[in-house]
Amino acid sequence: MTTPAYRIAAFVAALAAVFGIAFGVGRAVDPWAGDAPLPASGTHQSGPHQQYSE
């Protein structure tokens, strides 16, 4: 007999398994590994610019 408690528990277990698998795949692929690559030499880095009026 499937009572609501068993169905909810099965749903929570399946949801945890899906997120666990997604987390494991994400860690294996490692999309945010390390620092951002440095820009090539001679490139301009944009930053805050101030304009002076005279």
Distance CA 26, CA 24 (A): 5
Give every CB contact of residue 39 below 8 A, 6+ residues apart in sequence.
45
Spans of all domains in the chain: 1-30
Predicted pLDDT of residue 2: 76
The more confident residue out of 12 and 52 is: 12
Cβ pair 45, 39 in contact under 8 A: yes
What the block records as the tokens of 24 is: 């494991």
- Give 20-51 pLDDT, tens digit per residue: 999 999 888 876 666 666 666 665 656 666 66
pLDDT surpassing 70 at residue 7: yes
Which pTM value belongs to this model?
Answer: 0.51
